[in-house]
């Protein structure tokens, strides 16, 4: 039955993941980081003897590294359909660094930062909240009772602040509920009010085909950021994509070698973007890995990946709903897209204990806590400000949170069955487990 389902959605569950070679454990923590594709490991291995500093010298290794490094930008542009002419791909460390860089660059624009408003949302990862706070006035677009973004509230906030809105910044997909936001509708709305939009693509880009659209389009995504380690390549490489003209006009955030044509005591002549915003020796191996991951994702096909992961999540949700004592914090609604993430709790069992048993006894890795999306988790858990004060003042009392199962393209239905069986066991033996682990 499982094999049949996999055939129906068209994903061969023998997808080339190195992790499968070493363990039979189940990894349902793909929203944190994904294991590398075998092709990614091979490409890293092949390239490792040849890496050298880019844009420096005529040595054959430097030439090769530079070609690969620059070629990666084109692969990334093609992957997310960035504007070929007018957008530029800047390599960063990860999504967090990309957003912080943009916050600094935007901040340099305005004399009175606090007069300028950043519209972010209640569902953001802290990476798309904290970088804005010290620099601008930040307001948060509301969510409904299911935790979904309220576009009406976005529009009323755009009306309220009018020309003071510097940027609308929204996650493409939530790292807790998996809800996918209508990024083009949001972009269109933002543009109608004369502002730009940033999409945090960390949870979107590995799972759903993204189309930034040409710059002239009213639905164009002005800025897009994401990290390789959530798309089957290792840590240490991410991107910030945006209009060349935007980066052209601003001083870089990081300054040093590689981003200047010439410096004298009197003057600095900056490189053109993207080099201007990539000071220091860059992560060429990271680019090799990211490019290889994009190649594999493209050859599998994002449509098939989306269909497979969603059918896994729907199957898991359906089975979870039939278990007693399960609280689920995400909902399906016809016509609304999601990525394969399920946040839940077993009533009466602390989230940390559930995660610990799943991992320690059943070899199933999930994550628990607030997932660096603290405001969102607090809303989903209905934690009042009084309640939060209480926990903050009593650090010995375990903080409430959730358990998160998140699927990757290599997961399969048998693994979901294993997960459900493990949860059934925990539910049936709640009091025994609570007593057993109460001392630890």
- Residues engaged in binding ligand PMP (CB under 6 A): 94-96, 125, 127-128, 171, 175, 200, 202-203, 227, 372
Active-site option among 107, 150, 372, 387: 372
Query: Which residue's CB is nearer to ligand PMP, number 106 or number 357?
Result: 106
Question: H or E segment at 283?
Answer: none
Query: Which residue's CB is nearer to ligand PMP, number 128 or number 359?
Result: 128
Place of tokens 């569902």: 123
CA dihedral (373, 194, 217, 71) positive or negative: negative
Question: H or E segment at 260?
Answer: strand 260-263
Q: How far is CA 271 from the centre of its chain?
A: 30
CB of 99 to ligand PMP, least distance (A): 8
- What residues pair up with 118 in beta bridges, in sequence order? 138, 167
Query: Which residue's CB is nearer to ligand PMP, number 13 or number 94?
Result: 94
3-state secondary structure of 18: coil
Is there a catalytic annotation at residue 150?
A: no
Rounded to whole angstroms, the Cα distance separating 427 from 324 reads 8
Asked if 227 and 95 touch (Cβ cutoff 8 Å), the reply is yes
Query: Which residue's CB is nearer to ligand PMP, number 154 or number 426?
Result: 154
CB of 33 to ligand PMP, least distance (A): 8
3-state secondary structure of 258: coil
CB of 366 to ligand PMP, least distance (A): 14
Query: Which residue's CB is nearer to ligand PMP, number 239 or number 349?
Result: 239
Strand-strand pairing, 165-171 and 117-121: parallel
Rounded to whole angstroms, the Cα distance separating 33 from 379 reads 25
CB of 200 to ligand PMP, least distance (A): 5
Tokens of 94: 């990860």
Q: Which of 348, 325, 312, 315 is nearest to 438 (CA)?
A: 348
CB of 115 to ligand PMP, least distance (A): 27
Catalytic sites, residue numbers:
372
């Amino acid at each position: 039955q499982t094999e049949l389902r996999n055939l129906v959605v068209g994903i061969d569950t023998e997808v080339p993941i190195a992790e499968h070679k070493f363990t039979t454990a189940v990894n349902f923590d793909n929203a944190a980081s994904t294991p590398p594709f075998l092709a990614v490991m091979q490409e890293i291995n092949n390239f490792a003897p040849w890496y050298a500093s880019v844009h420096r010298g005529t040595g054959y290794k430097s030439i090769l590294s530079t070609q690969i490094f620059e070629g990666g930008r084109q692969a990334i542009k093609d992957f997310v359909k960035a504007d070929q002419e007018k957008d530029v791909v800047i390599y960063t460390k990860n999504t967090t660094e990309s957003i912080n860089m943009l916050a600094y660059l935007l901040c340099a624009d305005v004399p009175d930062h606090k007069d300028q408003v950043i519209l972010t949302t209640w569902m953001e990862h802290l990476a798309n909240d904290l970088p804005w706070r010290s620099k601008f006035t930040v307001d948060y677009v509301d969510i409904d009772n299911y935790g979904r973004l309220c576009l009406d509230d976005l529009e009323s906030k755009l009306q309220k602040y009018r020309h003071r809105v510097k940027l609308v910044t929204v996650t493409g997909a939530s790292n807790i509920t998996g809800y996918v936001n209508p990024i083009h509708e949001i972009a269109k709305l933002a543009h109608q009010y004369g502002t730009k939009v940033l999409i945090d693509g960390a949870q979107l880009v590995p799972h759903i085909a993204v189309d930034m659209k040409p710059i002239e389009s009213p639905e164009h995504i002005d800025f897009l950021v994401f990290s390789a380690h959530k798309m089957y390549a290792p840590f240490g490489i991410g991107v910030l994509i945006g209009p060349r003209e935007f980066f052209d006009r601003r001083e870089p955030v990081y300054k040093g070698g590689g981003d200047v044509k010439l410096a004298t005591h009197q003057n600095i002549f900056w490189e053109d973007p993207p080099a201007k915003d990539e000071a220091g020796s860059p992560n060429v191996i990271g680019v090799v890995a990211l490019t290889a991951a994009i190649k594999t994702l493209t050859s599998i096909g994002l449509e098939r990946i989306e269909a497979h992961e969603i059918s896994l999540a729907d199957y898991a949700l359906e089975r979870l709903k039939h278990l007693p004592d399960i609280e689920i914090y995400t909902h399906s609604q016809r016509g609304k897209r999601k990525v394969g993430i399920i946040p839940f709790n077993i009533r009466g069992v602390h989230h940390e204990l559930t995660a610990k048993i799943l991992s320690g006894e059943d070899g199933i890795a999930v994550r628990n806590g607030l997932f660096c999306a603290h405001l969102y988790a607090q809303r989903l858990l209905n934690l009042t400000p009084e309640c939060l004060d209480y926990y903050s003042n009593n650090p010995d009392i375990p903080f409430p949170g959730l358990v998160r199962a998140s699927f990757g393209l290599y997961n399969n239905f048998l693994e979901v069955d294993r997960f459900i069986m493990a949860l059934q066991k925990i539910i049936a033996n709640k009091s025994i487990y609570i007593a057993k682990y109460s001392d630890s």
